[in-house]
Amino acid sequence: MTDIIWTTHLKERARERGIDPALVDRAIRFPDKVGASQTTSARKHIKIIGKNQIVATVKREGNNWIVTSVWSKPYYGPAVKRPLLERLVYRFVLWLEKIVRARLKL
């Protein structure tokens, strides 16, 4: 299994910038886009979450990913279309919530 190694620089930057470590993990493991870094040999893993874009710089070392920095910026582009299964599950959960609320009269 691949491990994500957090550098001390990353921990400091995430804390300073108020970025949740779970979001960083999602950006690294399931990126929407991967691009080359302009300054180093690392790769940029980009994940769009809501109206924010989480960017993490990642270097591959064996089976491990070493994350050196992370930042967040507003995202103004088109909404990312979610996979069919994810959309179906989301709709089902909303439908189920509607039924439960109707029965409990909330």
- For 11-29, the pLDDT digits (tens) are 888 888 999 888 888 888 8
Nearest alpha-carbon partner for 45 in 64, 24, 61, 62: 24
> Domain range holding 25?
4-79
Residue 103 lies in a domain: no
Three-state DSSP class for residue 19:
coil
Number of alpha carbons in the 13 Å side-chain half-sphere of residue 46: 12
Residue 75 lies in a domain: yes
The predicted pLDDT at position 88 comes to 92
Residue 30 lies in a domain: yes
Residue 34 lies in a domain: yes
Residue-wise pLDDT tens digits, 61-93: 888 888 888 999 988 877 667 788 988 998 999
Residue 29 lies in a domain: yes
The predicted pLDDT at position 41 comes to 77
Residue 38 lies in a domain: yes
Tally of domains in the chain: 1
Residue 84 lies in a domain: no
What is the percentage of the chain residues whose pLDDT exceeds 90? 18
Distance of CA 60 to the CA centre of its chain: 18
Contact status, residue 52 vs residue 61, Cβ threshold 8 Å: no
Residue 98 lies in a domain: no
What CATH number is attached to the domain comprising 35? Answer: 3.30.2310
